[in-house]
Amino acid sequence: MKKILIVGAGPAGLGAAHYFSQNPYFDVTVIDKGKNIEDRIKSSNSSLLFGLGGAGGFSDGKLNIHQSVGGNLANWNLTKNQALNLLNYLVEHIYAKNSPEPLHKIILNESENEQLEKKAKESGLRYKPIQQIHIGSDNLPKLIANFRNELISKGVKFKFETDVSNLIIDNNHCKGIKYAQGEEYGDEVILSAGRAGQNWIQKICKDYNINISFGDLELGLRIEIPNKIYEEIEKISYDPKIIIPISDQVKVRTFCTNPSGFVVLEDYSDFVGVNGHSFKHRKSNNTNFALVTALNKSQNVNSAEYATKLLKNISDNTGKKAILQSYINIKNNAPGIGNSITVPTLREHIYENISDYYPAETLSALITGLEKLNLLIPDLCGSNTLVYAPEVKFRQIKVQLNENLESSVKNLYFAGDCTGLVCDIIHSTATGWLIAEKITSKYKTSELV
């Protein structure tokens, strides 16, 4: 029997555990610094990023069924058809199976999407239609609890509130992990620390000479508008993925749209950021979506260090609250939301000028992007449009993996958001599943007995 240690109980870690649980010859333990799902629900914003289900466990719960939206599975040695087959398999055998109610599959009308794609192109934008499934922020915790129970019934063990500090490395082979309670040895170690764990992953890679490259850290805004402004495009696309070219070097993109949703605050310990949630059974009168742009295009510069200082400065000066400003007031360089009749769904906000904190070129690109998007969504740039900051998307490093999805340290693997190679729930799940498949294929049955 081979012992598997999985650090991180988010979608990637659970995806790996699911694959291993189908084979009785693997002894699997999943370790996470956060709490179990029931305890996370009772906690504050500080539990939104760690614990069972990871950051994805408290997201809006959308599954992007596309080989390159949410993460390019070609980086994990899959063809388009293989990627789609795997994603659909995971939907059926994990998400649909454990959901407390039937999943909401969003039907794409081919003709309407073609018209929207054409209209976007005429406006200088790029729209990509994709198949999506919506779980709902209220259903996700129940789904995760059901999934955990299934894994436990198959022998998977969980350790919560256990902060892994380091690895046990001997002669470039990973032998186990270290934490305050002691050490634990294993035959294979998978690190799936999530997007909030990228700083720790970066330190691990530096300490053990694991090759990484610096990716783009995206900084942006969370836009909140009355539902009536968005309702026409929602009929065609629930969460449209739109690319907005600003110049040859700069582009802005939309993602994480939440019709009738809520803006929420995420606590990253040193700073806070905003995100969006969408529930199946609880609705607001507003729609929100993210608008982001890459902070640094250089592959040789760690933009995370600069961004962390910027974000910490915002939190230090706002008392760990989001900045809220109306679009009109941003244009007039005035704090507050003026005479907007849109009721903010996030209470933890403060009225200040976003321009006092964001780099001028970044904010300019984002506002220009919003104004270009107004060509596709009329009345988007009006007095009732609210703008929150900061919105941040961490993909500051990309871990280099070999053809077996293994790092340069033997028996050490990286999965999910922390790799910088994927950034959504279903693709993170897929990476854990694929790594577990590769590990299983290493061993002959006689070696496992």
Question: Longest Cα pair distance anywhere in the chain, in angstroms?
Answer: 72
**Residues 286 and 421 grouped into a single domain:** no
Mean pLDDT of the chain: 91
- Regarding whether 348 and 419 lie in a shared domain, the answer is no
The answer to whether residues 167 and 274 belong to one domain is no
User: Which domain-ending residue is among 393, 414, 434?
Assistant: 393
- Is residue 124 domain-resident? no
Same domain, 55 and 188: yes
Domain assignment present for 171: yes
Whether 182 and 323 share a structural domain: no
How far apart are alpha carbons 9 and 398 in whole angstroms? 20
Could you report the per-residue pLDDT of 353-405, keeping only the tens digit for each? 999 999 999 999 999 999 999 999 999 999 999 999 999 887 667 888 998 89
Confidence check: pLDDT of 299 > 50: no
What CATH number does residue 190 fall under?
3.50.50.60
Give the least confident one: 67-81, 85-99, 151-165, 365-379: 67-81
pLDDT number for residue 431: 95
For residue 187, which amino acid is it? Answer: D
Q: Would you say residue 300 has pLDDT above 60?
A: no
205 plus 223 within the same structural domain: no
- Evaluate whether residue 329 is within a structural domain: yes
Q: What is the pLDDT of residues 308-317, one digit of tens each?
A: 888 999 999 9
Region of 424 please: left (phi>0), alpha (psi -120 to 50) or beta. beta
Examine the domain organization and report whether 208 and 303 are in the same domain: no
Task: Give the tens place of pLDDT for each residue, 99-139.
Answer: 999 998 887 888 999 999 999 999 999 998 889 999 988 89
Residue 109 lies in a domain: no
- The model's confidence at residue 268, banded by pLDDT at 50, 70 and 90, is confident
In angstroms, the CA 78 to CA 72 distance is: 9
Q: Are residues 45 and 162 in the same domain?
A: yes
Give the pair of three-digit tokens for residue 115. 């018209």
Q: Please indicate, yes or no, if residue 110 is contained in any of the structural domains.
A: no
Record the pTM: 0.89
Of 437, 413, 427, 18, whose CA–CA distance to 193 is shortest?
A: 413
322 with 204, same domain? no
Asked if the model's pLDDT at residue 327 lies above 80, the reply is yes
DSSP H helical ranges for 138-261:
140-153, 198-207, 227-234
Q: Would you mind telling me the total number of residues written for the chain in this entry? A: 449
| Count of domains for the chain | 2
The DSSP-derived string for 3-58 is: EEEEE--SHHHHHHHHHHTT-TTEEEEEE-SS--HHHHHHS-GGGSSSSTTTGGGG
Structural domain boundaries enclosing 281: 218-393
- The residue from 351, 369, 393 where one domain ends is 393
What's the rounded mean pLDDT across residues 312-328? 96
- Judge whether 440 lies within some domain: yes
Higher pLDDT, 259 or 46: 259
The answer to whether residues 229 and 339 belong to one domain is yes
* Tokens at 358, concatenated: 């964001």
Candidate from 10-14, 75-79, 330-334 with smallest mean pLDDT: 75-79
Q: Are residues 243 and 372 in the same domain?
A: yes
Whether 69 and 255 have beta carbons less than 8 Å apart is answered as no
- Exposed / middle / buried, residue 46 (Cβ in 10 Å: 0-12, 13-18, 19+): middle
Q: Which residue, chain included where needed, has tokens 């009772």?
A: 42
In degrees to the nearest 10, what's the CA dihedral of 308, 159, 177, 392? -20
Pick the last residue of a domain from 374, 393, 412: 393
| Closest residue by Cα to residue 348 from 216, 163, 222, 202 | 222
Beta strands 157-159 and 26-31, pairing class: parallel
Any domain includes 127: no
Instruction: State whether 234 and 345 are in the same domain.
Output: yes
Binning the chain into helix, strand and coil, the percentages to the nearest 5 are: 35, 25, 40
3-state DSSP assignment of residue 404:
coil
- Note whether residue 235 is domain-resident: yes
51 is written with which tokens?
């614990």
Residue 355: how many other CB atoms lie within 10 Å: 16
